[in-house]
């Protein structure tokens, strides 16, 4: 039996585009047999596997990011300080300095935000067993102790999503059994191959990786760290995406991972790219399973996967 799998990548606010893609699939009565998510992709994918309805996922997430406890986190302070704003020069300067002083003060801790400040973030995720969801689902996280990539297919949905989206240095690592986990993007930015482990024989990947632009020479250690992470994430994504049968890229790559105040536009970008590619998506869903298997075999012979 043909089984379409979705691989939903990480990207912070850019990952809200996954909601738009899922809304179009709902409209076209295309039901994925399996979903594997990483970081924001795990949050959106996990909620969809639970509700089975993209509009309900949209409603849940938009309602949450409008709450005071989310805005109080001040996630926007991690945005690129060179981004134009309506603030004056001195306001921008003190924001820039203040953020870095806070970062220095956290050097004796494991993350910028502590567990108490972040625990409420995941209350929107139902604390239900992954194996009981209506759609097969898994979430990717990375074990700091072993460096192992963990594909959670069982256990608490809430804990798995929290581990998968624990951005290193910003949110605290998550203890889960023998593991000490951070954001799955550290090892698997777009989990195209992992969704096959839970039953998919063909993969639609949604890539929301930030575009890799030419930038000015870094001026300090923070610029270097941010730039290095961008480069690593970009090249890792390109490698992992070779395992997908179809890749679609919402027009959000210029967005910051902190752009939650542009949620509506980002979701709309997901809808737009899904509609643009709906013929190819339907063709992939309906393709003969034996032909898909042959194509995968040829890819392996050519070294494409």
- The pLDDT of residue 104 is 55
Q: Residue 171 pLDDT more than 60?
A: yes
For residue 271 the two structure tokens come to 């809808």
User: What is the percent of the chain with per-residue pLDDT over 90, rounded to a whole number?
Assistant: 46
Q: Residue 176 pLDDT more than 80?
A: yes
For residue 24 the two structure tokens come to 């179009």
Among 265, 171, 249, which residue's Cα sits nearest to residue 210? 249
Question: Which residues contact residue 290 at a Cβ distance below 8 angstroms, ignoring those fewer than 6 apart?
Answer: none
The model's pLDDT over 135-149, given as tens digits with 9 standing for 90+, comes to: 999 999 999 989 888
Helices (H), the chain: 17-27, 40-51, 54-65, 68-71, 89-105, 115-118, 157-164, 221-240, 263-276, 278-286, 289-302
The model's pLDDT over 68-116, given as tens digits with 9 standing for 90+, comes to: 777 766 666 666 544 444 444 334 444 544 555 555 555 556 666 666 6
Does residue 177 contact residue 51 with C-beta atoms inside 8 Å? Answer: no
- The pLDDT of residue 78 is 61
For residue 250 the two structure tokens come to 């919402």
The model's pLDDT over 29-78, given as tens digits with 9 standing for 90+, comes to: 999 999 999 999 999 999 999 999 999 999 999 998 887 777 766 666 66
Cα–Cα distance for residue pair 48/19, rounded to 1 Å? 9
Per-residue pLDDT, averaged over 259-267, amounts to 94
For residue 1 the two structure tokens come to 């039996």
- The pLDDT of residue 188 is 62
The model's pLDDT over 206-256, given as tens digits with 9 standing for 90+, comes to: 999 877 777 778 777 767 876 777 777 777 777 777 889 999 999 998 888
Cα–Cα distance for residue pair 216/120, rounded to 1 Å? 38
CA atoms within 13 A on the CB side of 152: 32
Cα–Cα distance for residue pair 188/255, rounded to 1 Å? 20
User: Euclidean distance between the first and final Cα of the chain, in Å?
Assistant: 23
- The pLDDT of residue 102 is 56
- The pLDDT of residue 89 is 36
Catalytic residue IDs: 39, 183
Does residue 157 contact residue 122 with C-beta atoms inside 8 Å? Answer: no
Q: How is the chain split among helix, strand and coil, in percent rounded to 5?
A: 50, 15, 35
| Long-range contact set of residues 120-126: C-beta below 8 Å, sequence gap at least 24 | 120/69, 121/69, 121/70, 121/73, 122/158, 122/161, 122/162, 124/47, 124/60, 124/61, 124/64, 125/43, 125/46, 125/47, 125/157, 125/158, 125/161, 125/162, 126/50, 126/157, 126/158
CA atoms within 13 A on the CB side of 83: 14
């Amino acid at each position: 039996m043909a089984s379409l799998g979705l691989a939903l990548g990480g990207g912070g606010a850019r990952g809200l585009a996954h909601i738009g893609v899922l809304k179009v699939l709902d409209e076209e009565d295309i039901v994925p047999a399996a979903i594997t998510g990483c970081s924001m992709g795990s949050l959106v994918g996990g909620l969809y596997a639970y509700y089975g309805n993209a509009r309900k996922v949209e409603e849940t997430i938009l309602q949450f990011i409008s709450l005071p406890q989310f805005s109080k986190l001040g996630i926007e302070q991690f945005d690129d300080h060179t981004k134009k704003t309506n603030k004056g020069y001195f306001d921008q300067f003190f924001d820039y300095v203040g953020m870095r002083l806070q970062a220095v003060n956290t050097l004796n801790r494991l993350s910028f935000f502590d567990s108490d400040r972040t625990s409420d973030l995941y209350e929107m995720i139902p604390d239900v067993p992954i194996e009981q969801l209506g759609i097969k689902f898994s979430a990717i996280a990375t074990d700091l102790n072993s460096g192992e990539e963990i594909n959670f297919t069982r256990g608490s949905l809430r804990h798995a999503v929290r581990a998968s989206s624990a951005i290193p240095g910003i949110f605290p690592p998550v203890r889960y059994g023998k593991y000490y986990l951070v954001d799955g993007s550290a090892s698997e930015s777009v989990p195209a191959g992992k969704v096959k482990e839970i039953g998919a024989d063909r993969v639609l990947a949604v890539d929301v990786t930030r575009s890799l632009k030419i930038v000015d020479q870094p001026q300090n250690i923070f610029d270097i760290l941010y730039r290095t992470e961008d480069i690593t994430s970009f090249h890792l994504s390109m490698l992992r995406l070779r395992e997908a049968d179809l890749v679609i890229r919402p027009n959000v790559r210029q967005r910051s991972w902190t752009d939650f105040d542009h949620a509506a536009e980002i979701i709309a970008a997901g809808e737009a790219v899904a509609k643009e590619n709906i013929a190819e998506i339907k063709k992939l869903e309906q393709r003969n399973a034996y032909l898909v298997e042959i194509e995968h075999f040829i890819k392996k012979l050519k070294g494409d996967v």
